[in-house]
Structure 1
Amino acid sequence: MSRSALINIDTQQSFFHRDYWQEDDFPAFQQAISQLISGCQDLKIPVVDIFHVDDQSPFSLESGYVKPMPFLQHQANVTFQKHVHNAFTDTGLDLWLRSRDINHLIICGIRTEQCCETTTRVASDLGYRVSFVSEAMLTFPMSWKGVTLDTQTLRHRTETVLAGRFAEIQTVAECLESLS
């Protein structure tokens, strides 16, 4: 039998204070992640909040920004702080999940191609079945060597490298339907 948990990664106020912050995709993200969290809570699926913490910057505890974005109204079952891109290293998340016989993770949150993707890869390597709900994720354009990838290209690239290897790619509706 599959036991699930929703892993909400880095949906924290720190991002509002980064120079790359953009509002473009934020309304759709708010709606999708709120629907996913609410749907999981209705199904009694535990919600795990993960917050990224650094020594300095808007991600430091001293900044006061390492807290949920204001639109989030849920009460997490548990919260972990991470200091690297994945939500497992030195956090206690794996122990918490295994002690509850959870073997299926639903991933959502902020930076699709960074912390969400990295957590998905590690989760898969640890033996978890993973649903990657990129519709309930947010990211920002990235540039390297003069080439800028927009958010849709980053999302497509991430889904492409994860699909069938590390995760099942699902919309919010598909994910909630599969849990019912």
Structure 2
Amino acid sequence: MSRTALIVIDVQESFRVRPNWQLVNHPDIAERVDRLVRAARDKGDLVVWVLHTEPGTGGAFDPAEGQVRLIDGLEPLPGEPVVTKTSHNAFTTTNLQQLLTQHGVGEIVVCGIRTEQCCETTARVGSDLGYDVVFVTEATATMALAHWSIRDEASVEEILADPRTLTAEQVAERTEYALAGRFATIRTLDELTGVPVSS
């Protein structure tokens, strides 16, 4: 019988030091993820922690800047793998697939930051690699998304003022539409933890 692994993606301080964190849909993402982590540990599932790094960039994802660490309140247990990646998905630049194979994992549960970026991409690649993928949108976080033509230089105020901007809720909904029935099964926090989410 194959095991399940909870993949915790990029729930790191790097995001909280950027101006667009004020646009995040789930500022309590660490608490949401912690619920999944506790439930996974109780079931004997593997918990894998993933951190995104951009070495040498001098930005929030450069390990030298000190923000590439889990958000306060999240702590891997001894024996829980922590992998660092440099690509959007958690597989391409890491030994994640090898780790999952070693532990007999056939199903992955995806949570973390950002919903439509690293989380969705990991779900898609995981599905293509043959894993059964569960995507817990409630335990992912993202921000309002500016139109591609203004994204690089836009301030938070400009992003909010632009009628083409997608809200974080719209981004999450589009991710669910793209993944469901193709790459992943969408599940709620309550379904996976058995504990109602506080609103």
- For 1:15, the equivalent position in structure 2 comes to 15
Distance 2:173 2:23 in 1: 20
Structure 1, gaps ≥5 residues long: none
3-state DSSP class of the match of 1:84? coil
3-state DSSP class of the match of 2:20? coil
How many Å apart are 1:19 and its aligned residue? 2.2
Q: Which amino acid aligns with 2:81?
A: V
Distance 1:131 1:71 in 2: 24
Q: Of residues 137, 142, 158 in structure 2, which corresponds to 1:139?
A: 142
Q: Of residues 182, 187, 192 in structure 2, which corresponds to 1:165?
A: 182
- For 1:112, the equivalent position in structure 2 comes to 115
- For 1:36, the equivalent position in structure 2 comes to 36
Q: Of residues 61, 64, 70 in structure 2, which corresponds to 1:62?
A: 64
Root mean square deviation of aligned Cα: 1.6
Larger radius of gyration: 2
Contact 1:37 1:74 in 2 (8 A): no
Query: CA 1:78 to 1:156, structure 2 compared with 1: closer, same or farther past 3 Å?
Result: same
User: What TM-score do the two structures reach when normalised by structure 1?
Assistant: 0.92
Q: Identity of aligned pairs, percent?
A: 41
3-state DSSP class of the match of 2:135? strand
How many Å apart are 1:96 and its aligned residue? 0.6
Query: CA 1:88 to 1:24, structure 2 compared with 1: closer, same or farther past 3 Å?
Result: closer
- For 2:129, the equivalent position in structure 1 comes to 126
| Aligned 1:148-163 pairs, distance under 5 A | 148-163=165-180
Q: Which amino acid aligns with 1:4?
A: T
Contact 2:20 2:143 in 1 (8 A): yes
3-state DSSP class of the match of 1:37? helix
Deviations 1:81-139 (A, max 9, x none): 10010000120000010111101000000000000000000000000000000100110
Distance 1:63 1:5 in 2: 30
Structure 2, gaps ≥5 residues long: 150-161, 195-199
The count of corresponding residues between Structure 1 and Structure 2 is 177
- For 2:153, the equivalent position in structure 1 comes to none
Q: Of residues 86, 106, 109 in structure 1, which corresponds to 2:89?
A: 86
